[in-house]
């Protein structure tokens, strides 16, 4: 089983990917992680990538394809892959098909965790934590029992993360749409795209994903 998992920041993609790894023995292939590991290990592809990056250039699709191929070979035929952050372009989608096909694999599912942008803004911008014990709260969904006092430790100071603001959330959503726009139609034409409500409870999201894979 080989899948692509898509979802904007805040949709819980990391948690769901982790659960897929645990439940199905899949391996998560993040191109950024693979690149760093190959450079560190000094593999032939890693050395090539290092030279390109040191020259201030972007790593080519050929290098990324070689990295993915190496990783799939190391995993063995019995282990499925979750692709994370790849492909981003039609050309990369085509390369991925070729990489998989040459190893007797195919892409089975593209699963997108969908979010409602306005609801996501409300969810993220409303959150804050106790400065003393770190307990999480939310302006709308989880207020302290006594206003201004932490339920857990009685502290009175709270803090918000600077990037939990509307502009950042909307920018990230726009970036996400721009990144996935080139590849979703390709997979939609093949009938392998499924969408799951990423705003639902985490366990409900997992159950929906399991139903798709079943
Ligand atoms: Zn506290």
Q: What is the pLDDT of residues 75-106, one digit of tens each?
A: 988 999 999 889 989 999 999 999 999 999 99
Tell me, in angstroms, the distance from the centre of ligand 1 to residue 144's CA: 10
The rounded distance, in Å, linking the Cα atoms of 53 and 73 is 25
Question: Which one of the listed residues 88, 103, 105, 179 is annotated catalytic?
Answer: 88
- For residue 184, what pLDDT is reported? 95
172 is catalytic: yes
Residues contacting 43, CB < 8 A, separation 6+ = 70
Active site residue 103: no
d(CA 152, ligand 1 centre) in Å:
5
Overall pTM surpassing 0.95 (yes/no): no
CA-based nearest residue to 121, from 144, 138, 145, 143:
138
pLDDT confidence of residue 31 = 87
What pLDDT, on a 0 to 100 scale, did the predictor assign at position 18? 95
- Report how far ligand 1's centroid is from the alpha carbon of 157 (Å): 8
What are the residues whose beta carbon lies below 5 Å from ligand 1 (ion)? 130, 132-133, 135, 150, 152-153, 155
pLDDT at 58: 87
Active-site residue among 23, 159, 161, 177?
161
Cα 174 to ligand 1 centroid, rounded to whole Å? 35
195 is catalytic: no
Centre of ligand 1 to C-alpha 155, Å, is 5
170 in catalytic set: no
Q: Looking at residue 143, what is its pLDDT? A: 96
- How is residue 40 written in tokens? 């560190």
CA 186 to chain centre: 19
> Over the stretch 101-131, which tens digit does the pLDDT of each residue have?
999 999 999 999 999 999 999 989 999 999 9
- Rounded alpha-carbon distances, angstroms, from residue 133 to 20, 77, 146, 153, 164: 31, 46, 16, 7, 19
User: For residue 190, what are the CA distances in angstroms to 1, 40, 101, 139?
Assistant: 16, 37, 16, 43
Q: What is the pLDDT of residue 82?
A: 97
CA of 149 from ligand 1 middle (Å) equals 8
Across 12-26, average pLDDT: 94
At 10, is the pLDDT very low, low, confident or very high (cuts 50, 70, 90)?
A: confident
pLDDT tens-digit map of 52-81: 989 998 889 999 999 999 999 999 889 999
Catalytic residue among 103, 135, 170, 172: 172
Share of the chain above pLDDT 70, in %: 100
The answer to whether residue 161 is catalytic is yes
153: pLDDT confidence band, cut at 50, 70 and 90? very high
């Amino acid at each position: 089983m080989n899948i692509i998992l898509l979802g904007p920041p805040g949709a819980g993609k990391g948690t769901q990917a982790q659960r897929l790894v645990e439940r199905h023995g899949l391996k998560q292939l993040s191109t950024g992680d693979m690149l760093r590991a190959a450079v560190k290990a000094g593999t032939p592809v890693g050395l090539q990538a290092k030279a390109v990056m040191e020259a201030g250039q972007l790593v080519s699709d050929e290098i990324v394809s070689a990295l993915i191929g190496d990783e799939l070979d190391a995993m063995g035929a019995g282990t499925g892959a979750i692709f994370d952050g790849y492909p981003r372009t039609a050309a990369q989608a085509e390369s991925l098909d070729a990489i998989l096909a040459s190893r007797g694999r195919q892409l089975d599912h593209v699963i997108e965790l969908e979010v409602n942008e306005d609801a996501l803004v409300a969810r993220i911008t409303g959150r804050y934590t106790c400065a003393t014990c770190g307990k999480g709260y939310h302006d709308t969904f989880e207020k302290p029992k006594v206003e201004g006092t932490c339920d857990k430790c009685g502290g009175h100071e709270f803090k918000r993360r600077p990037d939990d603001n509307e502009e950042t959330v909307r920018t990230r959503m726009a970036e996400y749409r721009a990144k996935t726009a080139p590849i979703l139609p390709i997979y939609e034409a093949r009938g392998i795209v499924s969408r799951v409500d990423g705003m639902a409870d985490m366990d409900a999201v997992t159950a929906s994903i399991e139903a798709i894979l079943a």
